[in-house]
Structure 1
Amino acid sequence: MIKLSHVTKRYPNGHEALHDVSFDIKPGEMVFVAGHSGAGKSTLFKLITRIEKPTSGQILVDQQNLVRLPERKIPALRRDIGVIFQDHKLLMDRSVFDNVALPLIVIGMPHDEIQKRVRAALGKVGLAGKEKQLPITLSGGEQQRVGIARAVINRPNILLADEPTGNLDDALSDEIIDIFADFNQVGVTVVIATHDSRQIERLGSRTLHLAHGQLINEPVSNPTETMLENQ
């Protein structure tokens, strides 16, 4: 599902955000990416969504080589990846419904189908009946749930969550992580970047540890570079 082989990301100012990172994430797996602030977690997500390209190495997502992916295919790639941000990135002057519906409006989905999907997504994150409210009237945990509903509205195969519980207390953090676990139970591949060791220990999922852009304590099983080069 997601495969990195010897990936390095170096910015023009010389800062190396990732260095020689290799790992596999299988379809339907739930994985934490742990590390200090600046360890490279956010850069990793930018590479997986093709917001940025690696300086060197190869990245496969759902058997697509992102280094060689044509620009015209990037929107389709991103529609299959739901992304949840720590700061929600909600439109505060639009209703909850409008925020969640936005990805479907962009692709021109019929209004009746949008209505059906938005209500279903809000129901899954425990916000049924709140579609007319403005995000500013919601709690931090509820705003994060709106972000999750928006991320899953396209029914993606992959969910990436970047520090989704960073501003929440323990009880709300548990609720948010449990929502991700529920999606994982129905086959969605979930990758959560976090520095919250309590959540990692609570779920016991596999954890990739990043430190100063390098992957530590993660065994790599002979990356198949020939396959990557031929993609």
Structure 2
Amino acid sequence: MIKLSHVTKRYPNGHEALHDVSFDIAAGEMVFLAGHSGAGKSTLFKLITRIEKPTSGQILVDNQNLSRLRDNKIPALRRDIGVIFQDHKLLMDRSVFDNVALPLIVIGMPHDEIQKRVRAALGKVGLSGKEKQLPITLSGGEQQRVGIARAVINRPSILLADEPTGNLDDALSDEIIDIFADFNRVGVTVMIATHDFRQIERLGNRTIHLAHGQLMNLAQPVTHQPNPEAES
């Protein structure tokens, strides 16, 4: 489903965010991407969604070589990848319904189908009945659930979550991660970037460790020292 082969990403300022990274994620697998702030996790997600291109190496998503993907094919790629952000990226002056419906409105889906899909997505994340509320009236955990509902509204085969529990307490973090596990159980490929090692230990899924842009040898001790350089 996702295959990286010797991927390096170097930005114009000379900062090397990723260096010679190779790994595979099988269809239907749920994987944690672990590492300190600045380890390269967000850059990796930008590469998988073709927001950025690698400096060298190859990325395949569902057998598509992203470096060779035509610009007119990128929207279809992104519709099949749901992305959840730590800071939610919600429109605070729009209702929960409007936030979740936005990806469907953009592609011109009929109103009746949008209604069905939004209600189904909100039901899956435990927010039924909150369609008319503004996100600003919701708790942090509920806002994150709105972000998840929006990410799955197109019924993607891949979910990428970038530090989805970073601002939540342990109980809410467990609830959010369990929602991802529920989607994974019905066949969605899930990749969660996190530095929350409690969640990694709790679920026991395969973990890919990054440190300063490189894959860690798991025989080495994991250190949680932050990178002095902010991640691009």
TM range (shorter): over 0.9
Query: How does the TM-score come out when normalised to structure 2?
Result: 0.94
- Equivalent residue number for residue 85 of structure 2: 85
- How far apart in 2 are the matches of 1:118 and 1:110? 12
- Equivalent residue number for residue 227 of structure 1: none
Q: Which AA in structure 1 matches 2:65?
A: N
Aligned pairs, number: 219
- How far apart in 1 are the matches of 2:88 and 2:59? 27
Shift of the 218–78 alpha-carbon distance from structure 1 to 2, 3 Å rule, reads farther
Deviations along 1:49-96, one digit per CA (max 9) or x if unpaired, are 000000000000001000100000000000000000000000000000
TM superposition shift of 1:217: 2.6
Q: Which AA in structure 2 matches 1:55?
A: T
- How far apart in 1 are the matches of 2:175 and 2:118? 20
Quote the RMSD (CA, aligned, Å). Answer: 0.9
Q: Which AA in structure 1 matches 2:91?
A: L
- Equivalent residue number for residue 60 of structure 1: 60
- Equivalent residue number for residue 153 of structure 2: 153
Q: How does 1:23-172 map to 2 (within 5 A)?
A: 23-172=23-172
- How far apart in 1 are the matches of 2:197 and 2:218? 17
- Equivalent residue number for residue 223 of structure 1: none
Q: Which runs of 4+ in 1 moved over 2 A?
A: none
- How far apart in 2 are the matches of 1:217 and 1:34? 13
Q: Which AA in structure 1 matches 2:112?
A: D
SS at match of 2:39: coil
Q: How does 1:219-230 map to 2 (within 5 A)?
A: none
Q: Which AA in structure 1 matches 2:98?
A: D
- Equivalent residue number for residue 228 of structure 1: none
- Equivalent residue number for residue 229 of structure 2: none
Q: Which AA in structure 2 matches 1:45?
A: F
Q: Percent identity?
A: 92
Deviations along 1:140-197, one digit per CA (max 9) or x if unpaired, are 0000000000000000000000000000000000000000000000000000000000
Any gaps of 5 or more consecutive residues in structure 2?
220-232
